């Protein structure tokens, strides 16, 4: 029987050389699916604003909105470790992080902040997934390693090294004991990967018109299914399903 994922187990996986699978999801149905698929970490991401709600920036997302997303995702997860993004708009990072755990059901909070804020959140009893390298080319190898060690020393349980590149990514993963995952611009040189499932499965409408290599094209399947449904209604045929 599959056991509940814990931070301690993620560290063991790093030591054992087992790659960690992370999935960013925004709702209960997808949380059910990715947990059944066996991913290790499920992240309720603030990218929900741009991917699902039509916002122009992740910085528009409020704590109350992230609580709604976090609760929905948490209800769908049994085995994976559940993380939730701390919204940039939160005025009190420590209080917001505590709320995501207490009221949202998160088991870890993903934070893009300096070491002092991170340490204060950890001291409040909240495990932190710290973000590193938000902008492409913002950190060279030495700077990335220094920053990663600083975040680990501040109490981070895991890092999300965006735009890592093979040189800096490998150096950071080898320099610290906590797992290093990568989203945008990450790669197999890290301890694992995290991906927004809306992108991975081609859920967004943009997947209708581009040729990116994805694991599926749900947008195309949804368009074809909706067209077939409309055809049945207009032709006076009984529609499929219940």
Domains, the chain, ranges and CATH?
A: 7-200 (3.20.20.60), 202-242 (no CATH)
pLDDT band at 228 (very low <50, low <70, confident <90, very high): very high
Q: Is the pLDDT of residue 182 over 80?
A: yes
pLDDT band at 90 (very low <50, low <70, confident <90, very high): confident
DSSP, collapsed to helix, strand or coil, labels residue 157 as coil
pLDDT band at 135 (very low <50, low <70, confident <90, very high): confident
Beta bridge partners of 25: 44
Q: Which two tokens stand for residue 19?
A: 């790659």
Burial letters 162-191, b for 16+ CB under 10 A, else e:
bbbbeebbbbbbeebebbbbbbbebeebbb
Q: Is the pLDDT of residue 185 over 90?
A: no
Percentage above 90 pLDDT, the chain: 82
Q: Is the pLDDT of residue 242 over 80?
A: no
DSSP, collapsed to helix, strand or coil, labels residue 118 as helix
CA distance 43 to 121: 18
Alpha-carbon Rg for the chain in angstroms: 19
CA distance 240 to 242: 7
Instruction: Quote the mean pLDDT of the chain.
Output: 94
Q: Is the pLDDT of residue 122 over 90?
A: yes
Give residue 56's pLDDT. 87
Q: Which two tokens stand for residue 204?
A: 């967004």
Answer positive or negative: Cα dihedral of 172, 176, 182, 184: negative
pLDDT band at 121 (very low <50, low <70, confident <90, very high): very high
Give residue 163's pLDDT. 87
Q: Which two tokens stand for residue 215?
A: 């694991």
Q: Is the pLDDT of residue 61 over 80?
A: yes
């Amino acid at each position: 029987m599959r056991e509940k994922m814990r931070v301690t187990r993620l560290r063991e996986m790093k030591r054992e050389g087992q790659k960690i699978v992370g999935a960013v999801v925004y709702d209960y149905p997808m949380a059910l699916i990715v947990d059944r698929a066996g991913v290790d970490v499920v992240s309720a991401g603030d990218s929900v604003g741009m991917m699902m709600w039509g916002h122009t920036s992740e910085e528009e997302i409020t704590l109350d909105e992230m609580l709604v997303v976090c609760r929905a995702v948490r209800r769908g997860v049994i085995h994976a470790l559940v993380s939730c993004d701390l919204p940039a708009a939160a005025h009190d990072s420590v209080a917001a992080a505590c709320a995501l755990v207490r009221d949202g059901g998160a088991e870890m909070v993903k934070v893009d902040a300096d070491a002092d804020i991170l340490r204060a959140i950890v001291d409040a009893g909240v495990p932190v997934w710290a973000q590193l390298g938000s902008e492409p080319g913002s950190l060279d190898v030495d700077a990335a390693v220094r920053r990663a060690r600083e975040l680990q020393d501040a109490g981070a349980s895991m890092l999300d090294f965006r735009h890592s590149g093979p040189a800096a990514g490998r150096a950071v993963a080898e320099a610290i004991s906590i797992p290093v995952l990568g989203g945008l611009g990450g790669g197999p040189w890290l301890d694992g990967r995290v991906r927004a499932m809306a992108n991975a499965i081609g859920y967004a409408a943009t997947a209708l018109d581009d040729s990116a290599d994805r694991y599926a094209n749900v947008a195309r399947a949804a368009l074809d299914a909706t067209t077939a449904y409309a055809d049945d209604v207009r032709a006076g045929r009984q529609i499929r399903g219940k």
